Structure 1
């Protein structure tokens, strides 16, 4: 009867039942009992630990798992704020006090959460034209997460209209370069850029576009989802993260440039994997004359045409001789085309 009962359970229930009977077990014992891989087991354990049902003692292969003596549910806080007259630092201080951030987050993570939360909320206050916004903060055993959602014009639409772009998708390219702002008199355009680099996963969703920065994989993803009004920003960072806000700033505002935001990185494959024309190159280069150093990441790009390469590595370089252009993740075809253009530019 016991065997039949266990086989009708889902994997998480089986883990809990096994721990009831065995007090403390290793990951190897659980994996063998369930006949699943350690990777699959870890996914189930992570959920159970987040819910406060299971406790992990020790690290890596020597870790042991047991039932939690007292369930510690995740901490969650929801707020709705009227944006007119709202001061972002006061909201963060209130949230930090209620969730006891100073005790529950390391200093480096606290500084990052403070910076990104304040920048995103300020963006809603100054740019969204929304009357109010919803805020949700979740602190679980692994991560600190928050969502800020306004109901205004939308972040991509705002950039699209300001710079007279062809569509909202084009606004993504400007956003990820940095130093793009619709209010130059008040903002440098750096806040959203550095916010996108600071978490493990940072997602901007507006209208039908979802833009995700996965900084663990060092990649960017674009999805089309159902239409939503306004802008929703989701931020997540591990409570054990070693990320440091100062190091993130130095990466793009290094000492060589007197700590000014003069360096940016552009993911060339953001919209397509083949680039041929000069017009495509001009679209990519729009706004990059503001920087002293540009890193072009060609990861995932299959080929580029001579016109595209010539516009970047000869025409643009001739017009802006003091700008340093670096490249990453070139395949042999792209390497040949760039070399061909550079060798023949004179």
Structure 2
């Protein structure tokens, strides 16, 4: 940085007028990204806020070097627990873009302002939902979010555990993925996952947005512990499955096929919370396939329905009673 000749240096490097650069510098001072001392020959230093934006060729990019060389020095005043979360999220999502996106470029943005830290990782590749849908031969890209929300899914199991998106989404206050006209959003305060469509279906690639308060007391250890199997065996054994992500469009959840779609790969976990938020009713066959057929076939998996309205609870209980009565050998018609 050039604290004594900032305006002149930037103007010379970018080929802009000093007057134009001065306007931008005054704006950065007003927004807290720069501090100004003196008037005649002012000295500029970094302000309390930080901002970073850079576009890189994907080939040859290394997330650890980018973090240690570019991002970490700008966050030296951030509390350690928040810094660890930022480190985890940035490197995981940059690595995903490097190894999975098939992109030409990766853009990294960081903004630390007024007690909130946000990170955005964007690429111009195939798109995360499209890639997952193709790998699993899903009929609709919306269903890719269901698999990502469960965790333990990767298109490269030899080199990846498939846990990056799941844990990162739960470390930050807000986490969002936008790709191909679809947006997945996880909000820690509202404790829910939301999937919605946007008008821009032509946008190429994927954008991951993460935000956390610098006053947050959350730690990476707390998040890992919450979904681990216990203090003596740190395996990813617990997950939360948003049931409404099994819906495509306005369809109702009534069929066994929909239930099988919902429960795909769930047998990899020991404790599964099925979140029925936003679901007002389910069909008998849908409930029976989950709480009788699947439960009998996988007694080692604990299924815990949460946020179910009374009508949904009744259908779940009906399937559980049938399971207890006949052992799940005869499908209910």
CA drift of 1:155 comes to: 0.5
TM-score by length of 1: 0.77
Deviation at 1:132, TM superposition (A): 1.5
1:250-265 alignment, distance < 5 Å: 250-255=225-230, 258-265=233-240
Corresponding residue for residue 144 of structure 2? 171
- What whole-Å deviation, never above 9, does each CA across 1:215-253 have from its counterpart, x for those lacking one? 121111222121210111111111111111101011111
Q: Aligned residue for 2:99?
A: 126
Counterpart position of 1:281:
259
Q: Secondary structure at the match of 2:190?
A: coil
Checking the alignment, whether the CA contact within 8 Å between 1:273 and 1:300 is kept in structure 2 is no
Corresponding residue for residue 110 of structure 2: 137
The answer to whether structure 1 residue 111 and structure 2 residue 92 are counterparts is no
The answer on whether the counterparts of 1:156 and 1:171 sit within 8 Å (CA) in structure 2 is yes
Q: Compare the two structures and name the one with the higher helix fraction.
A: 1
Match of 1:92 among 39, 64, 67: 67
The ranges of structure 1 where at least 4 consecutive aligned residues each deviate by more than 4 angstroms after the TM superposition are: 70-73
TM value normalised by structure 2? 0.80
Q: SS state of the match for residue 121, structure 2? A: strand
Which residue of structure 1 aligns with residue 321 of structure 2?
Answer: 343
Report what 1:308 is aligned to. 286
- The structure-2 alpha-carbon separation of the partners of 1:275 and 1:85, relative to structure 1 and needing over 3 Å to count, comes to same
Instruction: Quote the offset at 1:305 in angstroms.
Output: 1.4
Matched residues in 2 for 1:191 and 1:257: separation? 22
The count of residues paired between Structure 1 and Structure 2 equals 279
Give the Cα–Cα distance (whole angstroms) in 1 for the partners of residues 64 and 115 of structure 2. Answer: 25
**CA displacement 1:63-114 (0-9 Å, x = unmatched):** xxxxxxx995732111111222221111001123441x12x21010000000
SS of residue matched to 2:204: strand
* Counterpart Cα distance in 2 of 1:105 and 1:231: 27
Secondary structure at 1:303 match in 2: coil
Q: CA RMSD in A?
A: 2.0
Greater mean deviation of Cα atoms: 71-80 or 302-311: 71-80
Q: Is structure 2 residue 190 aligned with structure 1 residue 212?
A: no
C-alpha distance in 2, partners of 1:327/1:88? 38
Q: What are the ranges of 5 or more consecutive residues in structure 2 without an aligned counterpart?
A: 1-29, 34-44, 327-333
Q: Displacement of 1:191 after TM fit?
A: 0.8
**Residues 36-76 of structure 1, C-alpha deviations (whole Å, 9 max, x = no match):** xxxxxxxxxxxxxx9459xxxxxxxxxxxxxxxx9957321
Change (3 A) 1:256 1:284: farther
Cα deviation 1:136-177 (Å, max 9, x = unaligned):
111112211111111011100110111111021111111101
* CA 290–72 in structure 1, closer or farther in 2 if over 3 Å, else same: same
- Residue aligned with 1:275, SS: coil
Query: Which stretch of structure 1 is more off in the superposition, 80-89 or 157-166?
Result: 80-89
